[in-house]
Amino acid sequence: MKKLTLILAMALSMGTAIAAPNLKMDQLGMDKLAEMAGDKSPYYRAEKESFPKDYFLVSQNLPFLVGASLYKPTSDTLKLDEKQLAAIIKLRDKTVPAAAKASKVIKAMEMDLTKGALEDKKSAEDQSELIDKIAKARAALTGAHLQCIHDIQGILSAEQYTQLLKVAASK
C-alpha cells in the first residue's frame, strides 16, 4: 500500500512537470501535405512516405528544427517567448509550403525516372539529364533546409538552441 501511495504521489507531482509541444499538430495542414504528396511509388521501401522530408538531399541526418521547435512533445522546454514563437511560425509558413512544392516536383521527376528505367527500359545514360535535374533540385532543397537551420539559430538564444538540438534528437 505504501508503494502504491508513493507511486501515485510521484505520478501526480510529475504531471505538472510533463513537457508538451509548443503547438499541436494541425491536422488540416497534415492533410494538405498528404494530398499534395499524392500516391507513393509501388517500389517505395518504407511503409509510409515522409513527404516532403524524403525529397531532401540529406533527409535523415539533418534535423528539421522548425518542426522540432513547434511540435515535438518536449518543445516547451525551449521556453520560447511570444516573439520567438511568432518568428518560428512565420518561418514555418514560409518554408514548409516551398519545400512541399519543390518536393512534389522532385517526386514527379523521380517517378518519371522510375518509369523510364522499368517500363521504357531506358539506360542510365539515356536518363542522365533527368538524373542531373533531380540531383540539382534535391541539392537546392537541402540548401533551403540549411538556411532554415541558420534562421532558427538567429531566433533562439545559445541555450535554447542547445536545448532544441536535444529536443530534435529525442525519439
- pLDDT tens digits, 30-49: 899 999 999 989 999 898 89
pTM for the full model? 0.84
* pLDDT attached to residue 7: 46
Amino acid identity of residue 13, one-letter, is S
Reading the block at residue 10, the C-alpha cell is 510521484
Q: CB-based contacts of 142: which residues, under 8 Å, 6+ apart?
A: 56, 57, 58, 62
